[in-house]
Amino acid sequence: MLSLYDAARSRRRCAIGAIDRLVLWNIDLTLLDVGRVSRDAYAEAFRRVTGRPLASLPQLAGRSDSEIFLEALALNDVPFAENESAERELLARYFWELEEAFAARINQIATTGRLMPGAKQAVVAAAGLPGVVQSVLTGTIRPNAIYKLRAFDLDSFLDPQIGGYGDDAYPRGSLLLMSRSKAAEKYRTSIDADSTVYVADTCRDIEAAGIGGARCIAVATGRDTAAELQEAGADVVLADLSDTDQVIAAIDRLTRVPAGR
């Protein structure tokens, strides 16, 4: 049975020709902002797992849900798990509660959240580039990432099966490498650093792109300024995604496959 993404892709006839380029999008503050729902879900999941209120919330930008939870334990004076096995069990419980808390607020995602300027137009336009497949590389756990994308009708343009998520026990740079590998396997192709681009909004994301072997388009729609993103080594820095032609030109240039490869 086809996934929702694959069925939609088939209907749009976007799969003409071989897949040879990968576009990965960060979600929060790159494509959309659902901070209110996320914060409420974090607080509820934290309370259910630890029995304590979430009095102090860590910095969220560029961090995975697992990093946020573990730092929240320290900030709120909650004892850490005694060993690695206990930590994995605690994280698993937290992820389950986080998904439940987010699902309970699913109707609030679109009403209290917002798309970032030009985000949907950019994703739709990138889906029409020859040879491109798109997914996400995000710190959000997979179920909640899909809830977010679906709330704003972005899910049919992105293949969730090849993405990297916050419930994967790997740094984001490693997840990028894994996404390339999954895309190559699923689409029976070769995708390398010269044909992969990560669109994101933090300096940590730029670092992940460098580790994972990808070009990076950084948008100054999060906490990091354009100057900071430039200094961190982004290939292209944009104020936001509102100029669709500019975004698509950057993606096309950075992922253009050399002739004869």
Bridging pattern class, strands 196-200 and 215-219: parallel
The C-alpha atoms of residue 112 and residue 134 are separated, in whole angstroms, by 26
pTM: 0.90
Q: What is the CA radius of gyration of the chain?
A: 18
Strands (E), 144-257: 196-200, 215-219, 236-238
- Which residues of the chain are modeled with pLDDT < 50? 1-2, 7-8, 10-16, 259-261
**What's the rounded Cα separation, in Å, for the pair 77 and 107?**
33
Task: Tell me if 95 sits within 8 A of 167, measured CB to CB.
Answer: yes
pLDDT, position 3:
56
Q: What is the pLDDT of residue 227?
A: 98
Partners of 33 in beta bridges:
114
Task: Return phi, psi of residue 179, to 5°.
Answer: -65, -40
pLDDT at residue number 2: 44
In one-letter notation, the amino acid at residue 64 is S
Burial 71-102 (b: 16+ CB within 10 A, else e): ebbeebebeeeeeeeeeeebbeebbebbbebb
